[in-house]
């Protein structure tokens, strides 16, 4: 049986290298089921200490919500600096390095993924012939950028799996639950942890069950 290919979108202040490390336990749980592909967001966080690091170690983001090029998930704002460039990057990756069966997003990457789901539903040709079949959200939330609100008006039919930590101190549980309600075919996995990617035998079994419909 061929493994599923899953594209992974990291959170704010991460990059493909750090996100690969932080998904190690999950990847081990699903090593017989899926291969994970990681990419870095195009925007480096413009802080002095960050800019001193080697390029591959610099913290990045998918867009900024403030004029000084920083980001907060709770900002209700018109600002989404860099969003279009990030969308162009992901479209390019999916068309040229795909196909991918699914996409996994963490934190800001999960908010970005929720927008990609609606964009694909509205335009099936957006990613060429390589559209994705499912989405996995970890500490997800609905983007509060005002231009993004239109993406949440219609229900999303794409199958989705939502990992929500009841101890998450960064993204409120209610925000993650609200996001899941936009999907008509969603599976919710609650864990007692915080703002990270969980790993347990129970999660493995639930994820394998979810992923089995795409193999």
Residues with active-site annotation = 107, 168, 195
Give the residue from 163, 166, 156 showing the smallest Cα distance to 206. 163
Task: Give the tokens for residue 133.
Answer: 């079949």
């Amino acid at each position: 049986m061929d493994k599923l290919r899953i594209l992974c979108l990291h959170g704010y202040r991460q990059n493909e290298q750090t996100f690969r490390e932080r998904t190690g336990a999950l990847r081990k749980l699903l090593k017989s089921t899926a291969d994970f592909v990681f990419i870095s967001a195009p925007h480096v966080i413009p802080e002095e200490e960050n800019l001193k690091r080697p390029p591959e170690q610099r913290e990045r983001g998918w867009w900024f919500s403030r004029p000084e090029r920083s980001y907060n998930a709770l900002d209700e704002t018109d600002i989404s600096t860099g969003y279009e460039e990030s969308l162009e990057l992901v479209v390019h990756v999916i068309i040229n390095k795909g196909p991918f069966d699914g996409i996994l997003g963490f934190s800001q990457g999960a908010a970005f993924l929720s927008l990609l789901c609606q964009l694909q539903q509205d335009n099936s040709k957006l990613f060429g012939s390589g559209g994705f079949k499912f989405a996995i959200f970890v500490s997800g939330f609905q983007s509060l950028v005002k231009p993004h609100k239109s993406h949440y008006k219609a229900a999303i039919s794409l199958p989705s799996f939502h990992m929500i930590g009841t101890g998450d101190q960064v993204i409120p549980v209610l925000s993650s639950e609200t996001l899941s309600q936009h999907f008509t075919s969603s599976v919710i996995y609650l864990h007692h942890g915080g703002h990270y990617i969980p790993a347990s035998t129970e999660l493995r079994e639930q994820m394998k069950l979810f992923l089995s419909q795409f193999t």
